[in-house]
Chains A and B, each alone.
Chain A
Amino acid sequence: MERVTSRHFGQENSHRLENYLKDKGYEGARKALTSMTPAVIIDELKRSYLRGLGGAGFATGMKWGFIPKDNPKPKYLVVNGDEGEPGTFKDKYILEQDPHALLEGIIITCYTIGSHKAYVYIRGEYLKSITRLQSAIDEAYKNNFLGKEIMGTSFDLDVVIHQGAGAYICGEETALLESLEGKKGFPRLKPPFPAVNGLFNCPTVINNVETLACVAPIILNGSEWFFKLGYMNQGGNRLFCVSGHVNKPGVYELPNGTTLREIIYTHAGGIRNGRTLKAVIPGGISAPILTPDQLDVKMDFDSLKALGSMAGSGGIIVMDDTTDMVWAAMVAARFFAHESCGQCSPCREGSGWVYRNIKRIYHGEGRPGDLKNLPGIINNIGGNTICAFGDAVTMSIGSYVSKFRSEFENKIKSEYAKTNH
Chain B
Amino acid sequence: MDANLRQEIDKIVGLYEEKKAALLPVLHLVQDKKGFISPESEQQIGDILGVPVVHVHEVVSFYHLFHQAPKGKCHFSVCQTTSCALLGGERIIGHIKKRLNIKAGETTPDGKFSLSVVECLGACEIAPMMQLNKEYKGPLTIEDIDRLIDQNK
Question: Which A residues lie at the B interface, using CB under 8 A?
Answer: 74, 83-89, 91-92, 117, 123-128, 160, 162-168, 179-185, 200, 241-245, 249-251, 281, 285, 315, 317, 319, 323, 328, 331-332, 334-335, 338-339
Contacts and interface: CB of A to CB of B under 8 A. Distances in A.
B114 to A, nearest CB: 15
Contacts of B25: 162-163
A84 B120 contact: yes
Most B-side CB within 10 Å, residue of A128, A160, A182, A339: A182
Interface stretch (B2-10, B80-88, B91-99, B105-113): B80-88
B82 A317 contact: yes
Interface in B28-67: 28, 49, 51, 55, 58-59, 62-66
A315 B124 contact: yes
Nearest to A243: B124
A241 B119 CA distance: 17
Nearest to A89: B122
Contacts of B22: 182
B25 to A, nearest CB: 6
B121 A182 contact: no
Given A166-B64, A167-B62, A328-B82, A179 B125 contact: no
Given A200-B17, A243-B83, A125 B131 contact: yes
Given A285-B81, A319-B86, A331-B85, A183 B124 contact: no
B122 A83 contact: yes
Contact of B82 (A74, A86, A124, A250): A86
Interface of B: 15-18, 20-25, 27-28, 49, 51, 55, 58-59, 62-66, 77, 80-83, 85-87, 118-127, 131, 134, 136
Contact of B125 (A85, A251, A281, A339): A251
A123 B81 CA distance: 17
Nearest to A127: B134
A86 B81 contact: yes
B123 A92 contact: yes
B24 A165 contact: yes
A165 B124 contact: no
B59 A184 contact: yes
Contacts of B64: 165-167
Nearest to A322: B86
A326 B115 CA distance: 27
Nearest to B51: A182
A167 B61 CA distance: 11
Contacts of A125: 65, 77, 121-122, 131
Contacts of A315: 124
Contacts of B55: 183
Contacts of B118: 166
Contacts of A91: 122
A182 B86 CA distance: 36
25 contacts: A83-B122, A88-B122, A89-B125, A91-B122, A123-B122, A124-B28, A126-B122, A160-B16, A164-B65, A165-B66, A181-B20, A182-B21, A182-B49, A183-B23, A184-B59, A185-B62, A200-B18, A243-B124, A244-B82, A244-B83, A244-B127, A250-B125, A317-B124, A319-B86, A332-B82
B122 A339 contact: no
Contact of B83 (A87, A251, A339): A87
